[in-house]
Structure 1
Amino acid sequence: MGSPVRNKNNGAFTIKCGLTNSGDSSSPRLVTNAVVRSKGDKATYIGHEFDRCRDFSSLHYRLPFEKGYLVDWDAQKAVWDGIFSEEVLRVNTTESSLLITEPYFNLPNLQEVYDQFVFEEYEFASYHRCSPAALIPYGNLYGSSSSAPPECMLVVDSGFSFTHVVPIMGSSIVWSAVKRLDIGGKLLTNQLKELVSFRQWNMMDETYIMSHVKETCCYVSTSYRRDMEICRENPRKNDIVQEYILPDFSANRQGHIRKAEDVGETDQILYMNNERFSVPETMFYPSDIGLQQLGLPGAIAYSISLLPNDVQGMFWANIGLIGGTTKIPGFRDRLLHELRSLAPIDVEVIIHTAADAMTEAYKSALAFARSGDFSSYVVTRAEYQESGSNASRRRFKDWKSTDNEKCPDPYPRKGKAPMQESDDERISIPTRGGRARNRTGPSGQRRR
């Protein structure tokens, strides 16, 4: 390939980025997609600079993405500037191609701003824009690189803001059957913060710490009633409870699950009891927190029911999981158990998992960028200068209507769950040297 391809999975909270001509490009650089202010050391970190932070207490995030869409372009530009700089990828944008992911059902006016930033702000030679699931057919989620991907597949992408169920037929997304749950990693973290703050310590300002607690302690239960009964018998001493020792950043000690060590007088312990499994349970029963939507198994079954009858069995047999939320222990086993009760008796339900669900879309994008026909899918700077965003509309496959964007609501929605409220604070971005232009765009009852 004449010029290096800059591959960027532009997640709402973590950007996975790399270069096709880099020797270690299969392992992406993970960059926090936020401007973060630390009250501990009174410093502000932009994107990749967050690796330098050592005091993670009371962090406040300014996120470019809000409710799944890129709306704060000043913050996003600051993060992108750092990624393209000498400190991270050392990219000469004028001689490079860019492959970037965008949100599902991205709004047309936001897509135009993507085009403007790529070609007018950074002056890339060419670029391709698509959703993460569209790249999966080029990867190894459904088999080895030597075997062809299945003709019909269903990708479950559970990320920071939402969880999407995306059927793909013949390497093209069937947009009329794509379903969305308003549940992602952010909501689960916020839910855990509220539970812990109500029952034990006030952790409402400790998003970073509670995210680590969620990743360390939480799991998806395969028998919710049984686990709940175990927790009720003795809330402090049972087979499920874990003692999480909160971090002490003044002593440079990170938070961790207590093993056999003695607890110091100043140590603060967080008892993780039924919170361990009741928080991820929201993925399967959103009504637990007031979201009147189908759970993930129901959304998958409903999505498949909208596809042609003669190929529905192939979708049941090719369900793939990507996104950081699917890494919660027990997620696959619980989902498989639930789906077997919803699937027709004459079909086989198979769930495919990746070695790292968080970076699977990036690795698939890397394979796509290295393929021989990648150049036929890009829009060049010359085409953009001639036709503007119309060149992107003609070249990139896109969704055509807004129908069926969400899972159907079995009951009228009475309001938004409190965990969905934004807990972000506006953080001013320190002035950085660089480009002169500064473009800104549009900104139930449980049944078991």
Structure 2
Amino acid sequence: MKTLVVDNGGYSIKIGYADGECRTVPNAVFKSRTDRKRAYISDQLDELNERTGLFYSLPCERGYLVNWDIQRQIWEHLFTGYQPSETRIALSDPIYTVPAINDYSGEILFEDFGFSAVHKSAAPRWIGCAAAAVSSSNRLCLVVDSGYSFTHVVPLLDGQILQSGVLRIDVGGKVLTNLLKEWISYREINMREETYVVNECKEDCCYVSIDFDIDMKISRLKNETNTIRREYVLPDFRQNMRGFVRNPVREKDDLQKVSMNLERFSLPEVLFKPNDIGIDQLGIGEAVVESTKRIHEHLAPGLLQNIYVVGGSSLFPNFRQRLEREVRSGAPDLYGVGLASIPNPITHAWTSGAMLAKSDELPGGFMTRTEYLECGEDFMLEQRFLEFNDDPDYAEYLTNKLTKATSKSDDAFVQSTN
């Protein structure tokens, strides 16, 4: 039986059969200012040429799925061509879903679409389980998931989430895009309704500063001595469907553009310093170090040496270098710091889930349609939160794992210091 793997992100959905290719499509319904009668669902956006002033209908808010009508509409469009009655589905789920938010996924997937079996788990858990399955040296890993709505820091042991070390930062790509809209609108041209265009501007222009003070000094220089200043030429949706970056030119032309100077590095800086915009939380580098301090102290070396950085916000140039430098400065000197090499941070969670699905190693397995009809949604909820179970048997199970991992971490630590 085929398994459909769906990494259901707040900004995009990664979808495909476990033994096939992954498609990345928007997780939104769009309406155009020029044609408000038609709704463009997910990848139907490709059919729209004029993308100025787009209206967004999002199923997720702050990383949580709250608008199930919109999500069902998107899923119905994306599941076309699949055969749910002959297919299992593995669906990613947010960590720490608020109990007040109703979860209708079981009802929709089983009753509306008719899937034969459903698996639900947090995307970082897929990553941790897949890493441990590849090599015993990856039993301990720490996932930094910096996406659209938030950034999560998640330590794992054998694919099991270490709850006390999980941290959430309320800064992601959405916050940065909205912030850039305000900056450009205040300084140059009103872009408050141009979320789509400004988001592309952010992706094309911005980078993480390795030395913020030096970049700030350079951005204050004039003319050619300022090597940071760029112009972002806005798309006209006739000749240019996407804007592009160019060096400033003195000659006047008819192209509409915005100037990007210190905004290029000040914007991603918020990921590392949320206090700059009034969010009283740790930056990503500080959160990684703090996460390792909140769990068994002997596990810290193994976690710091095996950091997985995923999510769209990690694609800014210099992001990994800056994160590694900050973690290195905050961690004990004797501990090594290593970031795992990941070909595609956006699809890595899907790739991990697909690998586990092909080998039938998804954590917790699947809930069948028969089990759902007999036990209902409550049983699925209990299975979903297995990693946060506090019963004595589970505590003993985890303690045994900690003891084994501690001895291996200590051996690795001794070898690294000799």
**What is the TM-score with the length of structure 2 in the denominator?**
0.88
In structure 2, what is the equivalent of residue 125 of structure 1?
116
In structure 1, what is the equivalent of residue 412 of structure 2?
none
Provide runs of 4+ in structure 1 moved above 6 Å. 260-264
In structure 1, what is the equivalent of residue 9 of structure 2?
11
Question: Aligned match of 2:31 in 31, 34, 37?
Answer: 37
In 2, Cα distance between the equivalents of 1:400 and 1:263?
Answer: 65
Distance 1:276 1:261, change over 3 A: closer
* 282-291 or 111-120, which deviates more: 111-120
Question: Aligned match of 1:320 in 274, 290, 308?
Answer: 308
Give secondary structure in 1 for the equivalent of 2:82: coil
Is 1:92 the counterpart of 2:87 in the alignment? no
Whether the aligned pair in 2 keeps the contact of 1:41 and 1:55 (CA below 8 Å) is: no
Whether the aligned pair in 2 keeps the contact of 1:138 and 1:367 (CA below 8 Å) is: no
In 2, Cα distance between the equivalents of 1:41 and 1:263?
Answer: 36
* 241-250 or 270-279, which deviates more: 241-250
How far does the alpha carbon of each residue in 1:246-279 deviate from its partner, in whole angstroms, 9 at most, with x for none? 1112445431112699977321121110000000
* 99-108 or 362-371, which deviates more: 99-108
Is 1:270 the counterpart of 2:272 in the alignment? no
In 2, Cα distance between the equivalents of 1:31 and 1:181?
Answer: 25
Whether the aligned pair in 2 keeps the contact of 1:33 and 1:47 (CA below 8 Å) is: yes
- How far off its partner does 1:346 sit? 0.7
- How far off its partner does 1:101 sit? 0.4
In structure 2, what is the equivalent of residue 62 of structure 1?
57
Work out which structure has the larger RCO, using CA pairs closer than 8 Å and 6 or more positions apart in sequence. 1
Give secondary structure in 1 for the equivalent of 2:39: strand
* 32-41 or 258-267, which deviates more: 258-267
In 2, Cα distance between the equivalents of 1:83 and 1:263?
Answer: 47
Question: Aligned match of 2:93 in 102, 113, 116?
Answer: 102
In structure 1, what is the equivalent of residue 69 of structure 2?
74
Question: Aligned match of 1:179 in 167, 170, 190?
Answer: 167
Task: Report the AA paired with residue 299 of structure 1.
Answer: A
- How far off its partner does 1:108 sit? 4.3
Task: Report the AA paired with residue 62 of structure 2.
Answer: K
In 1, Cα distance between the equivalents of 2:24 and 2:218?
Answer: 39
Give secondary structure in 1 for the equivalent of 2:118: strand
- How far off its partner does 1:338 sit? 1.1
In structure 2, what is the equivalent of residue 248 of structure 1?
236
Task: Report the AA paired with residue 12 of structure 1.
Answer: G
Whether the aligned pair in 2 keeps the contact of 1:64 and 1:72 (CA below 8 Å) is: yes
Whether the aligned pair in 2 keeps the contact of 1:236 and 1:271 (CA below 8 Å) is: no
- How far off its partner does 1:236 sit? 7.8
How far does the alpha carbon of each residue in 1:222-246 deviate from its partner, in whole angstroms, 9 at most, with x for none? 0000000111122786101111111
Is 1:399 the counterpart of 2:391 in the alignment? no
Whether the aligned pair in 2 keeps the contact of 1:336 and 1:351 (CA below 8 Å) is: yes
Whether the aligned pair in 1 keeps the contact of 2:209 and 2:318 (CA below 8 Å) is: yes
Distance 1:376 1:34, change over 3 A: closer
In structure 2, what is the equivalent of residue 165 of structure 1?
153
Gaps of 5+ in 1: 402-448
* 110-119 or 355-364, which deviates more: 110-119
In structure 1, what is the equivalent of residue 407 of structure 2?
none
Give secondary structure in 2 for the equivalent of 1:54: coil
In 2, Cα distance between the equivalents of 1:234 and 1:263?
Answer: 17
* 64-73 or 367-376, which deviates more: 367-376
How far does the alpha carbon of each residue in 1:6-29 deviate from its partner, in whole angstroms, 9 at most, with x for none? 11000111000001243xx2xx11
Task: Report the AA paired with residue 207 of structure 1.
Answer: T
How far does the alpha carbon of each residue in 1:148-193 deviate from its partner, in whole angstroms, 9 at most, with x for none? 4512111000111010000001220011210000000100111111
Whether the aligned pair in 2 keeps the contact of 1:48 and 1:82 (CA below 8 Å) is: no
Is 1:333 the counterpart of 2:321 in the alignment? yes
In 1, Cα distance between the equivalents of 2:29 and 2:361?
Answer: 37
Give secondary structure in 2 for the equivalent of 1:5: strand
Distance 1:275 1:374, change over 3 A: closer
In 2, Cα distance between the equivalents of 1:334 and 1:231?
Answer: 19
Q: CA RMSD in A?
A: 2.2
Distance 1:373 1:305, change over 3 A: closer
Distance 1:180 1:146, change over 3 A: closer
Whether the aligned pair in 1 keeps the contact of 2:129 and 2:158 (CA below 8 Å) is: no
Task: Report the AA paired with residue 388 of structure 2.
Answer: W
In structure 2, what is the equivalent of residue 137 of structure 1?
128
Aligned residues: 388
Question: Aligned match of 1:51 in 46, 53, 57?
Answer: 46
Whether the aligned pair in 1 keeps the contact of 2:5 and 2:91 (CA below 8 Å) is: yes
How far does the alpha carbon of each residue in 1:411-431 deviate from its partner, in whole angstroms, 9 at most, with x for none? xxxxxxxxxxxxxxxxxxxxx
In structure 2, what is the equivalent of residue 379 of structure 1?
367
How far does the alpha carbon of each residue in 1:262-321 deviate from its partner, in whole angstroms, 9 at most, with x for none? 977321121110000000000111111011111111111111001111121111111110
In 1, Cα distance between the equivalents of 2:13 and 2:281?
Answer: 29
How far does the alpha carbon of each residue in 1:68-90 deviate from its partner, in whole angstroms, 9 at most, with x for none? 111111111110000011xxxx1
In 2, Cα distance between the equivalents of 1:262 and 1:6?
Answer: 53
**What is the TM-score with the length of structure 1 in the denominator?**
0.82
Distance 1:375 1:362, change over 3 A: closer
In 2, Cα distance between the equivalents of 1:15 and 1:187?
Answer: 19
Q: Give aligned-pair identity as a percent.
A: 36
Gaps of 5+ in 2: 391-418
